[in-house]
Amino acid sequence: MPKHTITNLLEVMARLRNPEGGCPWDVEQDFATIAPYTIEEAYEVDQAIREGDMAALADELGDLLFQVVFHAQMAAEAGHFTFADVVAAVTEKMIRRHPHVFGEAEVEDADAQTGAWEVAKEKERIARAEARGEAPSVLDGVAYGYPALMRAVKLQRRAARVGFDWPSKGPVLDKVEEEWAELRAELNTPDGEQRVAEEFGDFLFVVSNLARHLKVDPEQALREANAKFERRFRRIEALLAEDGRGPADSSLEEMDALWDRAKAEQV
């Protein structure tokens, strides 16, 4: 049997946050200062999954759970909500969004369930907007905290649901070329520096749209490209080290040649 329970974890968190005898660092934190750690822990969970390390996954899931408990404790201190409210809300949401499991509804397959899930989420977004006295938008709920490429794709998918999308990848490729030409044009104008960042952003946005049409996850594709670059550059370092040197002791031409060698080795 586990030595500790969620109740023990909640007690630990409350003690850490206690101004009388608690941890000074934990006491001075707020939602904004803790949010980056929450995101960091989610990425570490992802890394443990990708590495297939179940011991690390258990550890990282614990760290992520601690982040939830941390936020809930701060919310309880401010009178907003408690950890119990968090548990109740997500439990009710899962039951509500799975009427085929907890009710009488039926779904044919996983794709049908995904469609029903999105319909349920859309109803919830509309209800939240109306509760705030705001006009609902199909873009509601696409969190600003997502990585930029991921958020771009999510925004595009939302717009595509109501028909705001290219019918095929051909026009998207044309748009990529158009945005690339606009970026190059700004590089060649005397005062273009002020618009380079904007045009570069437009270029990245349409490239992410192309990824969506190609059914490529741009975040995953860039992760793999990063990993490839890291492997090959480390190989360059290893080859230079054989001569007792490092990258700073060699020329760009030499490193380019070693890069080609690493590429040929399929590193």
**23 lies in the same domain as 113:** yes
* 119's tokens: 């319909």
Mean pLDDT within 128-138: 85
Helices (H), ranges, the chain? 6-16, 24-28, 31-51, 54-77, 83-96, 99-102, 110-131, 148-161, 169-187, 193-213, 218-241, 252-264
Mean pLDDT within 200-218: 96
Q: Domain end: 176, 198, 216, which one?
A: 216
Q: d(Cα 195, Cα 183) in Å, to the nearest integer?
A: 8
pLDDT tens-digit readout, 247-265: 999 999 999 999 999 999 9
Instruction: State the residue range of the domain holding 241.
Output: 220-264
The pLDDT, as a whole number, for residue 150 is 92
**118 lies in the same domain as 82:** yes
The pLDDT, as a whole number, for residue 130 is 81
Picking from 84, 40, 81, the residue whose alpha carbon sits closest to that of residue 63 is: 40
**175 lies in the same domain as 250:** no
**119 lies in the same domain as 183:** no
The one-letter amino acid code at 264 reads: A
Distances (CA, A) of 51 to 3, 39, 46, 216, 218: 28, 19, 9, 21, 20
- Rg of the chain's alpha carbons, rounded to an integer? 25
**37 lies in the same domain as 122:** yes
**104 lies in the same domain as 204:** no
**116 lies in the same domain as 229:** no
Confidence of residue 54 (pLDDT cuts 50, 70, 90): very high
Mean pLDDT within 173-177: 97
**10 lies in the same domain as 127:** yes
Confidence of residue 60 (pLDDT cuts 50, 70, 90): very high
Mean pLDDT within 165-181: 96
> Over 90: is that where the pLDDT of 26 sits?
yes
Q: How many domains does the chain have?
A: 3
As a whole-number percent, the residues of the chain with pLDDT over 70 amount to 98
Average pLDDT along the chain: 91
